[in-house]
Amino acid sequence: MQADVKHSIIHQFYTNDGQIGLRIAPATLAINDEVGLLLSELTEVYNAKPSKGYARFIDPVNDDAEEHQISEFPDKLKAWRSGDDEFIGFSQQAAKILHQQLQHYGILEDGFLVIASYTELGQDYLVVAFLPSKDGVTIAPDLSVDRSSQLDINKVQLAATINLTEWQEEPESATYISFIKGRVGRKVSDFFLDFLGCAEGLNAKKQSQHLVESLHDYVKAAELPTEQANTLRKSVYDICDSSWKSNEPVRVKDLSEQLQQAVPTERSFADFTAEQSQPLPEEIRADRGTLRKLVKFQGQGGGLSVGFDQELLGARVEYDPHTDKLTIHGTPPNLRDQLRRYFGIDS
């Protein structure tokens, strides 16, 4: 994490006799190597999450929001940013807001609320994360063994990053807050959004699916040969994946210019999409899982799971749409070894 950490603090939530308790930290953490390592690891895990959502704070006056979506968090954050409150006061108020939400919904979850502000590439950010805890053991200076409660950063599912600079300079933006999206069918992230008082501004999966479909139509309209079409899809995936890793939006105009360099065509991708009934927006937030459709075929069901790179279709992999038969020439070594052992064939 190449960032300048300004403030950081950790508050603890614990369960006792069927109740959720809160232990407020009396002071911020010292900015040292240990805190830097913690935030670096948290940032790495956060950035590696395959699916993120993007949101903005709810305006209680102008937005049609339900009562449970209105939170004091944005006002407390604004008071700190304007200098009317100290960071520690803001963070303590935020912890109390979360505590009230946990009590209201009857959620019993041990963990630690981490709030930290930092500056990176000239932009101010605030990270808010609820980290689950796990029991562990530590070795004391006298070499004795002691049980302790440790942060389980890899299991984090409730976390958000707020671009404070963008919020201040572009308050109408719908993407200055990014957050970890819950798994399909789970509403964990919805509860966290209510705590923050924000609403999803755009759906990265839908935008990415729109991009995939637009590229499919573009390849079909341009009548590109299979090799060029695969090169084009791979280029789009690589460009979007790079943007995803850096948590930056994909600019369709820039994407189109890079595609023209990789696979020159008479009509650019940007011009093509602009003429469609549903043109792509100027900027897209990439969803890695959805964009894999550009370079891989994969599916599962009925006890069978199959996945392979699209460029293998017509080469090592053949598909007959009339008989719905898939033929694979040359199986992966680990699968081949399992099959040979099953049939009693010496490797």
1-5, 67-71, 73-77, 174-178: range with highest mean pLDDT: 73-77
Reported as a pLDDT band with limits 50, 70 and 90, residue 1 is low
Distance CA 107, CA 20 (A): 8
CB atoms within 10 A of CB 249: 20
With vertex at residue 91, the alpha carbon angle to CA 107 and CA 170, rounded to the nearest 5 degrees, is: 100
Reported as a pLDDT band with limits 50, 70 and 90, residue 2 is low
Helices (H), 188-247: 188-196, 204-222, 226-245
Nearest one of 169, 58, 42, 64 to 113, comparing CA atoms: 42
Residue located via tokens 């807001």: 97
pLDDT of residue 159: 94
pLDDT of residue 62: 73
Cβ pair 211, 291 in contact under 8 A = yes
Reported as a pLDDT band with limits 50, 70 and 90, residue 185 is very low
Q: Report phi then psi at 243, rounded to 5.
A: -65, -40
Structure tokens at 322: 């009339």
Reported as a pLDDT band with limits 50, 70 and 90, residue 188 is low
Distance CA 272, CA 279 (A): 9
- CA dihedral over 243, 244, 249, 250, signed as positive or negative: positive
- CA dihedral over 32, 85, 81, 246, signed as positive or negative: positive
pLDDT of residue 184: 45
Distance CA 241, CA 290 (A): 11
**For 28-50, what is each residue's pLDDT tens digit?**
999 898 898 999 999 989 988 87
Distance between start and end Cα atoms, the chain = 47
Contacts 24+ apart (CB under 8 A), 187-191: 188/157, 188/158, 189/53, 189/157, 189/158, 191/101, 191/105, 191/107, 191/158
3-state DSSP assignment of residue 29: coil
Residue 142: pLDDT over 60: yes
Reported as a pLDDT band with limits 50, 70 and 90, residue 114 is very high
**For 251-298, what is each residue's pLDDT tens digit?**
999 999 999 888 888 889 999 999 888 889 888 888 888 888 998 998
Distance CA 162, CA 34 (A): 23
Enter the pTM of the model.
0.72
Q: Average pLDDT of 76-81? A: 96
